[in-house]
Amino acid sequence: MAARKSKQAVRNGGFPAWGWVLIGLIVGAILMAMATRGGWLPMGRKHDGPQPNPNATVPRDSEPGVADQTGVKKKAKYDFYSVLPEKEVIIPDAEISRQAKAEAQPGTPAPADSGGYLLQVGSFPNAADAESMKAKLALQGFVADVKPVTIDGQTWNRVRLGPYASAAKLEAAKQRLASAGIKAIALKEH
């Protein structure tokens, strides 16, 4: 047996195999550390993306930044209480039909936002034209109101029917008007 060990030791140069493994691990660790510090591997590289420019300046005519606006109060471009009454909610025909069908269902509660509905038949800058439309509607059996409204400094005379309590009544009135050749716009009363 002694002769056998001596042949292996001579063949390997007299150094055990686990020693070579240990030397390989140490050399590998040293090379890895050098490669990481030297930027040879992707792990040690800096980001290749854009870098901040320390010499950059903001143009003089630019808008103020978010931090600059904290103490600045901007004046409102409109007065809420004067703009709101001028705005109207126009209800599409499909929505009127859907609401009328929903109201016709037995046991279906009325929608929470249900209010009155109006039909606007026309809006005229001339009061005489509005009165003429009101008379035409009276001949068809409708009671219309003419309401003057000022928008952007101009007075408009709106010819309206209603209010109608339900979408079904609104839809029926709109169909009667359509059969008489009169177009109308459904509005939500505010």
Neighbours of 125 (CB within 10 A): 10
Structure tokens at 21: 């493994």
Neighbours of 170 (CB within 10 A): 25
Q: Residues 84-141: pLDDT tens digits?
A: 455 677 888 888 888 888 888 876 555 555 568 999 999 999 999 999 999 999 999 9
Cis check: omega of the bond before 163, within 30 degrees of 0: yes
Q: Residues 70-89: pLDDT tens digits?
A: 555 555 555 444 444 556 77
Locate the domains of the chain by residue range: 88-188
Neighbours of 120 (CB within 10 A): 19
CB-based contacts of 21: which residues, under 8 Å, 6+ apart? Answer: none
Model confidence band, residue 176 (pLDDT cutoffs 50, 70, 90): very high
Gap between the Cα atoms of 131 and 86, Å rounded: 22
Neighbours of 178 (CB within 10 A): 12
Question: Domain 88-188 falls in which CATH fold?
Answer: Alpha-Beta Plaits (3.30.70)
